[in-house]
Amino acid sequence: MSGVLNNDAYLNTFQNPDPGAQGAIVAAMPAGSFIGALAVMQLADRIGRRKTIILSGIIWVIGSILQCASVNRGMLVVGRIISGLSVGLASAVVPIYQSEITAPSIRGRMVSLQQWSITWGILIQYFIQFGCSYINGAASFRIPWGLQMIPAIILSLGMIVFPESPRWLFDKGHEEEALQVLADLHGKGDKHNELVQLEYEEIKQQVYYEREEGAKSYLDLLKPGNPRRVFLGSALQMWSQLSGMNIMMYYIVYVFQGAGLTGRRADLIASSVQYVLNVAFTVPAIIYIDKWGRRPMLLAGTLLMGFFLYLVGGLQGRFGQWGTVGGSSVWVINDNPAATKAIIVCSYFFVCSFAITMGPVSWTYPAELYSLKIRGKAVSLATLTNWAFNTALAFAVPPGLATIAWRTYFIFGTFNFAAFIHIFFMYPETVGRTLEEIEDIFSQGHVFSPWKITREVGKKTLTDIKGKSKDSTDDERDEKAA
C-alpha cells in the first residue's frame, strides 16, 4: 500500500480516503491474516505443513484478482481480507515447516531466509509500483496488484515437489517415510547417517511420549511447562509489531511527508532506499544468527530501535509545526533541510536495526520453542498475535500521525525499551539445539534469569538418546513384571 498512498489515480478511484478510511483499507489484510493464522491451528496438524502452504498460495491468487479488479473501497477491502487469509496461513506454517526440516546448526539461518524473502518481496513490489506510477490512469496501481499473483503461483507449484515435514509424517504413523525424508535432507540419502539417526530417535521418543499423554487439544497449551513458552512466543511477535517497523513499511510516505520531503518522485526515491536497506541488512542476520544467538540480537535490536525512534520524534517535535499538505492538516517541518535529512537518516538506521535483529529472530524464535504436540497450535497463536497487533496498528497510525504527530514515535520507542526489559529477564537462548533438545532448556527453571542457562544445556549425542531409550524400555519391562 505504501507505493500508492500518494498516487492520484488510486486516490480518485477510491474517493480520496481520509486517515481513518485509509487505515481501514490497510488493516483489512492483517485482519484477514489474523483469521488465517487462527486456521493454521487446525490445518497444520490435520492436512500437513506442505499442503497448507500450497493452499495459502491458491487463496492469495483469488485475493489478488479481486484487488486488481476492485472498483470501490468495499471490493478492495474484501480482496485484501482474502489475501490476508493467505498471508496468515503462510506466515504461521512456513516457519514451522522450515524449522522441522532443517538441521539444528543452520535452523536460524534457514528461518531467517523467510524474513529476507519478505524484504525482497517488499523491495521488488515497491519498485514495480514506482515504475507504474508514471503510467496515467488506474493501470498505475492495478498492474502491481495483478503481478503479485506470480510469487504465489510459484510457491504453490514449487511445494508440490517438496517433502512433507518428517515430524508431521512420524506423528501420523508414516515412520519409514519420515526416516527417508530425514535421510534425504540431512544424510544425502543415507538412513544410517549419525545426524539422521539422532533426529529420528529424538522425534520417535517425543512422539511416543506425547501419544501416551493423550489426544492433542487446545488444553495442551495450558499443561505444565507450556504456558511460559506460549507466552514468550506470542509476546515476541507482539513486540515485533510494537517496534514501529510497520510505520516504516506501510506509512513511510507519511513519515517523510512530515519530515518536509516534498514531491512525489523525491518521496518515492527516498522511500525506496529504506526497502533496499531492509534487504541488505537482513543478510548479516542470516549469516550470523546461529553464531550470535537469538538473545543478544533481540537485546541489541530493541535498544537501537528505541533510540532512533526517540531521535525521529525529538527532531519532529523540535523543528516541526502544524501545516497543510495536500489539503490535510499535517505536522510538518518546513524549510529546514538539515532536520529533514536527519529524520530520513534516523529512519534508515531504524530500518537497518530491525532488519539485522528483530526481523529474522521474531520468526525464528517462536518456531523452535515448542514440543511437536503443541507446535502447530502454539506457533499459530504467536502468529495470530502478530496479525492482531498489525491490524490494530494499521488502523491507529494514520489517525495518530494526524493528531498527536511526533509523539507517535515516542510511544513506539518506549515499546522497544519495554521489550528490552522483558527479553533480558525472560527469554532463554535456544541456538544450536534440535527441536527436541529445547525441552531441556525450559526444564532448567530460571524463569526470570535466563542468562544462567548456558548454550550447552540440552546438547545430546546419539549414544545419549539411545541410552535414554533403553533405560525407558527397561523401566517399562520392570513395571510390567511387577
Indicate whether 473 pLDDT > 70.
no
- Can you give the pLDDT at residue 474? 54
Categorize the per-residue pLDDT at 219 as very low, low, confident or very high, splitting at 50, 70 and 90.
confident
**pLDDT above 90 covers what percent of the chain?**
43
Closest CA to 49 of 62, 58, 40: 40
Q: What band does 129 get if pLDDT is binned at 50, 70 and 90?
A: confident
Least confident of 63-77, 204-218, 310-324, 389-403: 204-218
Residue 393 has pLDDT above 60, yes or no: yes
pLDDT of residue 209: 77
Q: Is 266 exposed, middle or buried (0-12, 13-18, 19+ CB in 10 A)?
A: exposed
Average pLDDT over residues 350-367: 91
> Sorting pLDDT into bands at 50, 70 and 90, what band is 460?
low
Rounded to 5°, angle at Cα 52 from 48 and 55: 145
Neighbours of 246 (CB within 10 A): 20
Of 87-91, 255-259, 270-274, 327-331, least confident by mean pLDDT is 327-331
Cβ atoms of 462 and 201 closer than 8 Å: yes
Please report the pLDDT score of residue 290 as a whole number.
86
Ranked by mean pLDDT, which of 366-375, 413-422, 428-437 comes out on top? 413-422
Residue 215, pLDDT > 80, answer no
User: Phi first, then psi: what are they for 202, rounded to 5°?
Assistant: -65, -45
Q: What angle do CA 58, 63, 65 make, to 5 degrees?
A: 100
pLDDT above 60 for 259 = yes
Share of the chain above pLDDT 70, in %: 92
Task: Please say if the pLDDT value at position 471 is more than 80.
Answer: no
Per-residue pLDDT tens over the stretch 295-307: 999 999 999 999 9
Q: What is the rounded average pLDDT of the residues 121-130?
A: 86
Give me the count of residues in the chain.
482
Question: Predicted confidence band at 412 (pLDDT cuts at 50, 70, 90)?
Answer: very high
- Number of Cβ within 10 Å of residue 252's Cβ equals 25
Interatomic CA distance for residues 360 and 385, integer angstroms = 17
240/118: higher pLDDT = 240
Q: What is the pLDDT of residues 83-99, one digit of tens each?
A: 999 999 998 898 889 88
Amino acid residing at 67: Q
- Alpha-carbon gap, residue 258 to 325, rounded angstroms: 9
Looking at residues 335-339, what average pLDDT do you find? Answer: 90
- Range of lowest pLDDT (22-31, 262-271, 438-447): 262-271
Q: Tell me the pTM.
A: 0.77
Summary mean pLDDT of the chain: 86
pLDDT tier for residue 467 given thresholds of 50, 70 and 90: low
Indicate the pLDDT class of residue 179, thresholds 50, 70 and 90.
very high
Whether the per-residue pLDDT at 481 is higher than 90: the answer is no
**Grid coordinates given for 397:** 497510525
Confidence of residue 233 (pLDDT cuts 50, 70, 90): very high
Least confident of 104-108, 203-207, 228-232, 364-368: 104-108
Q: Is pLDDT of 220 > 70?
A: yes
Q: Cα–Cα distance between 13 and 89 in angstroms, integer?
A: 30
Which three three-digit cell numbers place residue 323? 501545516
Q: What is the mean pLDDT of residues 184-200?
A: 87
In this prediction, residues 363-381 reach a mean pLDDT of: 84
Q: Is the pLDDT of residue 344 over 70?
A: yes
